Structure 1
Amino acid sequence: METLELLIRNTSEVLTVEGSPQEPAERALTPQPHACVGVRRGRIWYVGSESALPPGAVGPSTRVLDAHGQFVGPGFVDPHTHAVFAGERAAEFDLRCQGATYLQIAQAGGGIANTVRATRFASEEDLIRLALPRLQLMLEYGITTAEVKSGYGLTLQDELKMLRVVQRLSTLQPVELIPTLMCAHAVPEEYREWRESYLDLCIQEILPAVAEQGLARFCDVFVEQGAFTHAEARRLLLAARKRGLQVRLHVDQLSASGGAELAAELGAASADHLEHVSEAGIQALAAAGVSAVLVPTATLFLRVRPYAPGRKLRDAGVNVALGTNLNPGSAMSENLPLALGLACLENGLTAAEAYWAATRGAALALGLSSEGRISVGDPANLVIFSCSNYRHLPYHLGINHARIVIKGGHVVVEQERALCA
């Protein structure tokens, strides 16, 4: 028989995460104590007891990785990032620490507009050079798949430039990238007095070009005071759906606006942020089967309250996902383990629910059928951690415990880490 290319052995447990969001998370993680994982042709070939491996499965060419009694799980899936951008906004961070609000900074010409100016000035090569170290950090944290949005171009030329960069980055490094068009991130400065004209540009020029060139899977809109209204979002997203793009929304982040209800009405793949979601909005998301993507690092970074009600969302039966929201203004961090800890401390999730949200829950929010789990036949995207169980990840706050990261059956990160409890 054909031998395995890779075998992971001597684990405390393998979290295969093959359950559903409707069952208790501890059960949905579907742990297999002391299991081994076999990989062949870049895919999961075997999960189970090492003693039950078929004869001849392990040969001289098989690379054997010793987990040293620590746990193995699927590669993390980050369902919400803005990882492609130019410039930085450290001065705005300092202003916020002195008491300025996100809206005050934006109204003074900072915020998204600041990054738009820098990103428009940057070439594709500049954006690739800047994004590669961010993606490498994400990979080192165990993220093997990530969604990436445009939205810092806000012209036809620059939105296409950003999405081409995402496409090129997919071939230059191991993290699988899921592209999202977000031309409705903000109304650009030159259109402040002509909002309707900018929306026309998005619908009549940017959307068709993106769809024809196959540059995005999703279309996202920021629905918020100072950004876009319900009516504007509905018009753009219905047009996007006609062009074959799936729908996502940034909603209820800074104020309660009924954004979750809009996401439910539109049958969105996800409603993201949700810090101010209403009880009616939670029930609407559950009834419509819309995933909730929580980004607690942004809530921390912006120094705002409340955190999104993860406990209420889970209890209502909503699939909850967890992302970094990596971006230069409201979450300048690739640290998904920090988001795991915050999800438990502030969003009300258990450790198992947070782990689900960063793996299978996130994959479901992106419509990815074979990511965020360890299932025979699926791509071998795996992490060997330096701790014996998943509860240690949120508990040891913000610390990276990913020791070995495997993407498509290949070891892409191998880090020396002290083994923890």
Structure 2
Amino acid sequence: MQTDFLYKDCTLATMEQGANNYGLIENAAFVVSAGRILWRGKMNELPAEYTKLESESLEGRLVTPALIDCHTHLVFGGNRAQEFEQRLKGASYSEISKAGGGIVSTVNATRNASDEELLNGALKRLDALISEGVGVVEIKSGYGLSIEHELRMLRVARKLATLRPVKILTTWLAAHALPPEYAGKNANRFDDYIDDVVIPGLRQAASENLVDAVDGFCENIAFSCVQIERVFAEASALGLPIKLHAEQLSDQKGALLAAKYNGLSADHLEYLAEDDVPTFAKSGAVAVMLPGAFYTLNESKQPPIESFRLHAVDMAVATDCNPGSSPISSILTAMNMACTQFSMTPEEALAGSTRCAAKALGLQNEYGEVKVGAHAELAVWDAAHPAELSYWIGASLLQKRISHQEPS
């Protein structure tokens, strides 16, 4: 049975590390074998042994790696449209959170939703991402805030991978907020919650193979670095990589904590001090830009993009799709926002949603580049140049996905 296949007549944006100008190859072709890239290059350099393969002309279209959304909260119940209205009337994210809104309101809706409701809601958001060329998605827990409901979220996320040809990675984010049963007028029992829910729940999630990484929300309205470090120590003992919501609303030095634990990424980073960028850079962690939250919360302090460039920090771009601070299920919109809100270039934005996003998930060399040996997860676009992917807003540019990945 022949498994090799030739795609020809296209422009390839390989997005390979170290390549300039998107790694563009014009008048290109590529060969897929057993779900991997076997060869890629110019049409006139196609080896003779591949010329008689079954083939498809892509009619001059642009081909990129399948896009990767490396930071999402796709599984949740309800929505927070009313809080959107409150923010427009002047209430801050912190004020809404302290008044019982924010994450806690989604926790209540998520706990009250059935598995089927959670699955169907997440499928709609996942399908929106897939329609824009996404082939890999990270999904966090964090809206259950009890062992039972956090595990339920992860099971729903894992189920999604059996229903769509997309790779899904799951992240334990029980250290997202304090659930209402642990909050009181006299004391907020963050340490008790970590002891009772976050750490034992993580152990159970790991034992059931439900988790690929561990995250936390390190912020002045959430968990301190000292508390998050307890979670990271347990993650390390379990052999799980870490990520961190850091420096979104204030400088808590969370990015340095992520660097200390050789984290895959630190995400948000609007308040990261420029003096801390060199230390963060030495860790090799990815800085994940989440312009959707910046836009939705009407923030004004930008991440230190120039310092990231100066110190060669890889910058990923993700939707942060969630019902409160980033109700966006469009990776292309996030790429546009990364350019317009954070002054990233279109090439940086595309690298951020391909090669750098893969690194933020520990998938470098497997996804995010069109190179020999990588998975043949690609996107074919009705576009002449890759800058168009960040330029158009709300356009349906995807012609099709090339996916050699079947549902689990």
The two structures have a TM-score, normalised by structure 1, of 0.91
The counterpart of 1:151, out of the listed 142, 166, 172, is 142
The separation in 2 between residues aligned to 1:393 and 1:87, in whole angstroms, is: 31
Kindly provide the amino acid, as one letter, of the partner of residue 405 in structure 1: R
Instruction: Check 1:218–1:232 CA distance in 2 against 1; reply closer, same or farther (3 A cut).
Output: same
- Map of 2:4 onto structure 1: 4
Amino acid at match of 2:68: V
1:64 corresponds in structure 2 to: 56
CA contact (8 A) 2:142 2:172 kept: yes
With 296-305 and 252-261 compared, the bigger mean Cα shift is at 252-261
Residue 371 of structure 1: how far off its partner (Å)? 0.5
Q: List alignment gaps of at least 5 residues for structure 1.
A: 413-421
Opposite residue 223 of structure 1, the aligned amino acid is: C
2:41 match: 48
Amino acid in the other structure paired with 1:325:
D
Q: Distance in 1 between matches of 2:213 and 2:265?
A: 10
Q: CA deviation at 1:90?
A: 0.8
Aligned mates of 2:41, 2:62 — CA distance in 1: 14
- Check conservation: 1:26, 1:352, Cα contact below 8 A: no
Contact 2:147 2:198 in 1 (8 A): no
Q: CA deviation at 1:2?
A: 4.2
Deviating runs (4+, > 4 A) in structure 1? none
Q: Cα deviation per residue 1:168-189 (whole Å; 9 max; x = unaligned)?
A: 1111112211100000000111
Partner of 1:419: none
- Does structure 1 residue 404 correspond to structure 2 residue 400? yes
Task: Give the drift of 1:35.
Answer: 0.6
Please state if 1:389 is matched with 2:385: yes
Q: Conserved in 2, the CA contact under 8 Å of 1:3 and 1:56? A: no
Deviation at 1:38, TM superposition (A): 2.2
The 1:56–1:316 alpha-carbon spacing in structure 2 relative to 1, beyond 3 Å, is: closer
Mapped to 1, the partners of 2:81 and 2:15 lie a distance apart of 38
Distance 1:383 1:257 in 2: 38
Match of 2:257 among 252, 256, 262: 262
Paired residue for 1:291? 286
Which among 78, 93, 114 is matched to residue 87 of structure 1?
Answer: 78
Higher mean C-alpha displacement, 188-197 vs 144-153: 188-197
Give the C-alpha shift of residue 80 in structure 1.
0.4
Partner of 2:300: 305
Cα distance in 2 between the residues matched to 1:250 and 1:38 = 39
Q: Contact between 2:29 and 2:46, CA under 8 Å: does it hold in 1?
A: no
Question: For 1:235-384, what aligned pairs fall within 5 Å after superposition?
Answer: 235-369=230-364, 370-384=366-380
Residues 266-317 of structure 1, C-alpha deviations (whole Å, 9 max, x = no match): 2211100001110122122112211100010110011111232323212211
Q: What is the CA deviation profile of residues 23-73 of structure 1, one whole-angstrom value per residue up to 9, with x for unaligned ones?
A: xx635x32212111222332222212334434463668x35142x323111
Is this contact kept in 2: 1:41–1:409, CA < 8 A? no
Contact 2:3 2:34 in 1 (8 A): no
Q: Give the distance between the partners of 2:269 and 2:40, measured in 1 at CA.
A: 37
Residue 8 to residue 311, structure 1, CA distance change in 2 (3 Å) = farther
Q: Which amino acid in the other structure matches residue 354 of structure 1? A: A
* 1:207-246 alignment, distance < 5 Å: 207-246=202-241
Q: What residue identity is the alignment partner of 1:157?
A: E
CA distance in 2, matches of 1:330, 1:185: 13
- Which of 133, 136, 156 is 1:142 aligned to? 133
**Counterpart AA for 2:202:** L
| Kept after mapping to 2: 8 A contact 1:148/1:180 | yes
Q: Aligned residues, how many?
A: 402
Farther off after superposition, 327-336 or 348-357: 348-357
Pairwise mapping of residues 110-149 of structure 1 onto structure 2 (< 5 A)?
A: 110-149=101-140
| Shift in CA distance, 85/65, structure 1 to aligned 2, threshold 3 Å | farther
CA deviation vs aligned residue, 1:324-361 (integer Å, no higher than 9, x gap): 00001011111111111121222122111111111001
**Match among 145, 158, 163 for residue 167 of structure 1:** 158
**Is residue 2:16 matched to residue 1:18?**
yes
> How many angstroms apart in 1 are the aligned matches of 2:250 and 2:217?
12
Counterpart of 1:36 in structure 2 is 29
Do 1:4 and 1:59's aligned partners in 2 also have CA atoms closer than 8 Å? no
- Tell me: CA distance 1:342–1:203, structure 2 relative to 1, closer, same or farther (3 Å): closer
Note the C-alpha offset of 1:125.
2.0
Gaps of 5+ in 2: none
Q: CA deviation at 1:155?
A: 0.4
Cα distance in 1 for residues equivalent to 2:277 and 2:271 = 10
Q: What corresponds to 2:191 in structure 1? A: 196
User: Could you state the TM-score of these two structures normalised by the residue count of structure 2?
Assistant: 0.93
Q: CA deviation at 1:400?
A: 3.6
Residue identity (%): 37
Distance of 1:329 and 1:175 partners within structure 2: 25
Q: Which amino acid aligns with 2:106?
A: T
Query: How much has 1:109 moved relative to structure 2?
Result: 0.9
| Counterpart-to-counterpart distance in 1, 2:263 and 2:181 | 30
8 Å contact kept, 2:29–2:43: yes
Structure 2 Cα separation of the partners of residues 71 and 38 of structure 1: 16
Stretch of structure 1 that moved more, 40-49 or 262-271: 40-49
SS across alignment from 1:10: strand
1:43 maps to amino acid? R
